[in-house]
Amino acid sequence: MLHLRLLLPWGISIVLFMTMVSCETTSSRGNAWDHKLGGVAVDKKVPPVALLKEINLKQDMVRLGTAGRKRVRRMNVKYITIHSTQNYTGNAYNHALALKRGALTATKRVGGNRIGFLIWHFTIQDNIAIQHLPTNEQGEHADFDGPGNNYSIGIEMCEHHGNDLARTIDHTAKLTAYLMWEYKLPISSVKPHYHWPRRGCNPPNKDCPHFLLENGKPGTTWRWFLNRVQAEYSRLVPGPAPRI
Ligand SMILES: [Zn+2]
């Protein structure tokens, strides 16, 4: 009986904790992605490097001096920008190859694309995440000469047929949490591509990543995603966190 009494307060505090967490991660009840993924196991604490293992991160950098990496353009990381490819046939490997070959060109112009190529940092699908560019180098993925390119890490989520999109979103939340840890960034630094207006484009704010937005704008689904990132971040405990 004494044993039980001693245990009881613990039991209560654990139950309360779990309830708070589930409110946190399932705030948008009925969210289609939440239904597929379930909540984040926030009590399963891990060192940061474990998140990279969970998403199967591989580095396959664009060679320095070529394509979108003709020269190093150093970046002071302040944000993380989330995109989706809107490419229904290309997977992460296809994008990695296209970036390395310089196949993703863009018209270079003042106030527009600055290097003649598109380039970003990571492409994620359900079973792998591929890194194309070190996170301390600028990409060309968001808003031409704006803060989205000048200060943010670009993550593209794959949408090809056969890819498990829910799992892709889940892995994107893990990578985002890792990068927040690495660069000591708050959750407010995580932005959808939509956040960065593209000067000279109509509309300036892109519907990207479209499946995390409502009517082309951040709403309940985007807030759900941010909660998921925060939940993954809450799993982290000090430990190995390699610079990527
Ligand atoms: Zn985008």
Chain segment 83-96, per-residue pLDDT in tens: 999 999 999 999 99
The stretch 154-181 carries a mean pLDDT of 98
How high is the pLDDT of residue 126? 98
13 pLDDT band (50/70/90 cuts)? very low
Domain ranges of the chain: 2-234
Contact 218, 21 (CB under 8 A): no
- Report CA(194)–ligand 1 centroid distance (Å): 7
Distance from C-alpha of 201 to C-alpha of 142, rounded to nearest angstrom: 12
The residue behind tokens 């320095």 is 64
Confirm if 160 and 87 have CB atoms less than 8 A apart: yes
- Please tell me the distance from the alpha carbon of residue 149 to that of residue 145, in angstroms, as a whole number: 6
Split at pLDDT 50, 70, 90, the class of 71 is very high
Cα 41 to ligand 1 centroid, rounded to whole Å: 29
* Interval 211-221 mean pLDDT: 96
Cα–Cα distance for residue pair 191/83, rounded to 1 Å: 9
Is the Cβ–Cβ distance between 229 and 235 less than 8 Å? no
What is the C-alpha to C-alpha distance for residues 136 and 76, in angstroms, rounded to an integer?
7
2-234 folds as Lysozyme-like (3.40.80)
The Å distance, Cα 195 to ligand 1 centre, comes to: 10
How many A from CA of 146 to the centre of ligand 1? 14
pLDDT(236) > 70: yes
State both tokens at 52. 């990279």
Q: How far is the CA of 36 from the centre of ligand 1 (A)?
A: 24
Average pLDDT, the chain: 90
Mean pLDDT of 3-25: 38
pLDDT digits (tens, 9 = 90+) for 102-134: 999 999 999 999 999 999 999 999 999 999 999
pLDDT score of 78 more than 90? yes
Ligand 1 centroid–CA 154 distance in Å is: 9
CA 185 → CA 3, 77, 95, 242, distances in Å?
44, 9, 27, 16
pLDDT band at 1 (very low <50, low <70, confident <90, very high): very low
Q: Which of 27-41, 140-154, 194-208 has the lowest mean pLDDT?
A: 27-41
Q: Is the pTM of this model over 0.85?
A: yes
Residues in the chain: 244
